Amino acid sequence: MPEPPKSEPKQVIQGAPMIKVKGPRATAEYYRDVFGFEFDYGSESYCVVWRDNAALHFIRSDEPASGVRYFLWVKNADDVLAGLREAGAEIKVDVADRDYGIRDFTVVDCNGMEIVVGQDID
């Protein structure tokens, strides 16, 4: 497992979604190859990937997750977007400053799930 977050939490260290997908290993490989995540654990029915302090768990299901959008908080959205474009990710909404104080964009993963990547606007 990667290093835990550097803050000093009283109890909860991190929350991580468990997302239903048809192919956990293929999904984990996508997140490795496109998003730069690292494998922590993997089997045909359950996989975990990490990048810095963000973890995602993928569980095998014939009924894919619905209504799920994952928000990935980053230091520099433009740098992440450039890497995702280079890796061939499907960008659904281009990067822009939003009226809610976040610079973000939306990408669609290999399962059709939307991931919003954003940063605070300084």
Q: pTM to 2 decimals?
A: 0.85
> Any idea what the CATH number is for the domain that residue 85 is in?
3.10.180.10
Asked if residue 5 belongs to a domain, the reply is: no
State the maximum Cα–Cα separation within the chain, in Å, rounded to a whole number.
42
What integer pLDDT is reported at residue 1 of this predicted model? 43
Are 35 and 79 in contact, with CB atoms under 8 Å apart? Answer: no
* C-beta atoms surrounding 11 within 10 Å: 4
Asked if residue 13 belongs to a domain, the reply is: no
**Number of domains observed in the structure of the chain:** 1
Phi, psi of 68 (to 5 degrees): -100, 130
**Distant-in-sequence, close-in-space partners of 61: CB < 8 Å, separation ≥ 6:** 20, 21, 22
Asked if residue 7 belongs to a domain, the reply is: no
Cα distances (Å, whole numbers) of residue 71 to 8, 17, 20, 62, 118: 22, 11, 17, 24, 7
pLDDT above 60 for 2:
no
pLDDT in tens, 19-77: 999 999 999 999 999 999 998 888 999 999 999 889 999 999 998 778 888 999 999 99
| Eight-state DSSP code of residue 71 | E
Asked if residue 11 belongs to a domain, the reply is: no
Asked if residue 26 belongs to a domain, the reply is: yes
Asked if residue 6 belongs to a domain, the reply is: no
pLDDT in tens, 90-118: 999 999 999 999 999 999 999 999 999 99
